[in-house]
């Protein structure tokens, strides 16, 4: 299956390459990057995550792409869309939702890359895949990601907040906020 690349004014969302493995391991081992996750990931955990990313692309033809600059083989992180595999009030087997997510190296923070990459992914979700809605989620204290969600036009309703089913009762990161973006509210501006 040919995996598409998505090109924006400053970024290229591209398929994964073997040269991305070590930077991906470093990204997931960085405590600053992973501060809103339960823990940093080991090399083996990152490789398992990469296997799931490849499997999602193989099944669906889309997923989370590597973020790089056009014409360069650099690794800035990832951005993309995928089907979450946990069960919550907004995930239904009969109508799987699409989640948009991003994780960038700290040197790429504050430059609008997450927003640009997310807009490319949203364009693909709505215009190519025909999605009706895309969601995004994070812990309440992740102000950077919440700001990206708001810049994308996503809306938060406290009634949608939920306890992440993969985290145990009492875990400080269990509570999550959910943002939604219906196709009708997507503004395709890059």
Do residues 120 and 134 touch, judged by C-beta distance below 8 A?
A: no
101 located within any domain? yes
- Asked whether residue 162 is domain-assigned, the answer is yes
In a domain, 127, yes or no: yes
Q: Above 80 in pLDDT, residue 93?
A: no
Residue 190 lies in a domain: no
d(CA 25, CA 30): 9
Question: What are 118-157's pLDDT values in tens digits?
Answer: 999 999 999 999 999 999 999 999 999 999 999 999 999 9
- Mean pLDDT, the chain, whole residue set: 95
- Give the pTM: 0.95
Six-digit token string for 156: 């938060």
Of the two residues 66 and 72, the one the predictor is more confident about is: 66
* SS3 category, 6: strand
Q: Confirm whether 1 is domain-assigned.
A: no
Residue 148 within a domain: yes
Scored b (16 or more CB within 10 A) or e, 140-163 reads eebeebbebbeebebebeeebeee
Closest by alpha carbon to 12, among 2, 4, 23?
A: 4
- The span from the CA of 138 to the CA of 177, in Å, is 6
Residue pLDDT, tens place only, 6-60: 999 999 999 999 999 999 999 999 999 999 999 999 999 999 999 999 999 999 9
Number of domains within the chain: 1
* Helix, strand and coil in the chain, % to nearest 5: 35, 25, 45
Q: Is residue 65 part of a domain?
A: yes
Q: How far is CA 81 from the centre of its chain?
A: 6
Cβ atoms within 10 A of the Cβ of 78, count? 22
Domain encompassing residue 79: 6-185
The CATH number covering residue 56 comes to 3.40.630.30
Reading the block at residue 62, the tokens are: 């889309």
* Cα–Cα distance, 134 to 180 (Å, whole number): 6
pLDDT by residue (tens digit) across 154-181?
Answer: 999 999 999 999 999 999 999 999 999 9
């Amino acid at each position: 299956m040919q995996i598409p690349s998505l090109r924006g004014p400053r970024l290229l969302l591209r398929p994964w390459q073997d040269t991305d493995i070590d930077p991906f391991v470093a990204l997931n081992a960085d405590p600053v990057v992973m501060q809103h996750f339960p823990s940093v990931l080991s090399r083996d955990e990152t490789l398992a995550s990469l296997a799931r990313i490849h499997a999602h692309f193989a099944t669906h033809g889309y997923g989370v792409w590597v973020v790089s600059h056009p014409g360069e083989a650099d690794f800035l992180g990832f951005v993309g869309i995928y089907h979450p595999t946990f069960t919550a009030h907004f995930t239904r087997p009969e109508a799987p939702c699409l989640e948009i997510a991003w994780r960038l190296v700290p040197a790429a923070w504050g430059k609008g890359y997450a927003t640009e990459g997310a807009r490319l992914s949203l364009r693909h979700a709505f215009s190519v895949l025909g999605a009706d809605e895309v969601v995004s989620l994070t812990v309440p204290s992740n102000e950077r990601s919440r700001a990206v969600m708001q810049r994308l036009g996503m809306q938060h309703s406290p009634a949608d907040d939920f306890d992440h089913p993969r985290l145990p009762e009492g875990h400080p990161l269990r509570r999550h906020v959910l943002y939604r973006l219906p196709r009708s509210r997507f503004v395709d501006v890059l």
